[in-house]
Structure 1
Amino acid sequence: MKNDLDDLFDKEQAPKMKIERRDGEPTAAFKGASYAALLIGISAYLIGLFNAGMELNEKGYYFAVLIIGLYSSVSLQKAVRDKDEGIPVTNIYYGISWFTIIIAIALMAIGLYNAGSIVLSEKGFYAMAFVLSIFAAITVQKNVRDTQKAREAD
């Protein structure tokens, strides 16, 4: 009986195959969660737009605001990180990155505030899907960059 128990414990302590992760590289779980958040945020936003009872030009407005927000958030994350790491970033690019993310957020807020055809709960849905998408885009960009930097270090 004791040998059976010893064998059981030895098997549990046996090393498992582990995927090698480089120093500074995000974990697979964090990368997966980031991509999932991005996919969920964008999908929820777009499905909400598709099912919305608003005019096509309103849908186009909210779609354009999402695209501008996603692009500007990734651009700003890159510019901020480049500056932090000592990579040259022109002040005009840095300023435009900040300006476009502020404009995207302002356009979303103004659009939702003035949208008379959307109920308050739907406004909250669009705002949260927008924020989730923006945050996830920044996180995915950071993960891509961290992974690339970790692989180049080897």
Structure 2
Amino acid sequence: MQKTSNAFIAASWFALLIGMAAFIVGLWNATMLLNEKGYYFAVLLYGLFSAVSLQKTVRDQLEGVPVTGIYYGLCWFATLSAVLLLAIGLWNASLTLSEKGFYAMSFMLGLFGAIAVQKNTRDNRGAEPTTTPDVTNSSSSLS
């Protein structure tokens, strides 16, 4: 397996951090009630976690790692429900269309970044050479 390039690793972290930071700064500066801000923040955290879990589960299946059907389905459900919860919240919010677009795009950028960072982490772990300790005749040297 080939190691991921440093440029893509940096771009992935940049996408994750910029997406999260933009979303959170947008919430910080918003004139909405604190419970609304909490809702959007919780949806962001839920979406990031579910996207990483989905990426890992899909990758496990592709690599032949056993994954239960219920967990696979729950990962898809969680990721899609996070996106749906954001969409419903934005649809019903009293925000301008440009603000709604800002939250949607920063949310999706954060999800993409989280998936890419997790992918890079896994790819680079798989690209590392595995070493096994040399245990041949180690007991004879103790005698």
* TM-score after normalising by structure 2: 0.89
* Number of the residue aligned with 2:84: 106
Q: Distance in 1 between matches of 2:45 and 2:125?
A: 25
In structure 2, runs of 5+ residues without a counterpart are 132-143
1:24 paired residue number: 2
Aligned residues with identical type, % of pairs: 59
Matched, 1:135 2:112: yes
SS at match of 1:86: coil
Aligned position for 1:120: 97
Where in structure 1 are there 5+ consecutive unaligned residues?
A: 1-22
Query: Partners in 2 of 1:150 and 1:59 — Cα distance?
Result: 41
Max Rg structure: 1
Could you list the per-position Cα deviations for residues 53-79 of structure 1 after superposition, in whole angstroms to 9, with x for gaps in the alignment? 000000000000000000000000000
- Are 1:86 and 2:59 an aligned pair? no
Q: Deviations over 1:74-133 (max 9, x none)?
A: 0000000000000000111101000000100000000000002x1110000000000000
- Aligned partner of 2:73 in structure 1 is 95
Q: 2:123 aligns with which of 120, 140, 146?
A: 146
In 2, the alpha carbon distance for the partners of 1:82 and 1:152 equals 20
Number of aligned residues: 131
1:12 is matched with none
Q: 2:36 aligns with which of 37, 58, 74?
A: 58
**Over residues 31-71 of structure 1, what are the superposed CA-to-partner deviations in whole Å (9 max), with x where a residue is unaligned?**
00100111100000000000000000000000000000000
- Residue 8 of structure 1 corresponds to none
**2: distance between equivalents of 1:24 and 1:79?**
21
Write the distance in 2 (CA, Å) between the matches of 1:141 and 1:48.
Answer: 25
Q: CA RMSD in A?
A: 1.0
Q: How do residues 60-79 of structure 1 correspond to structure 2 at under 5 angstroms? A: 60-79=38-57
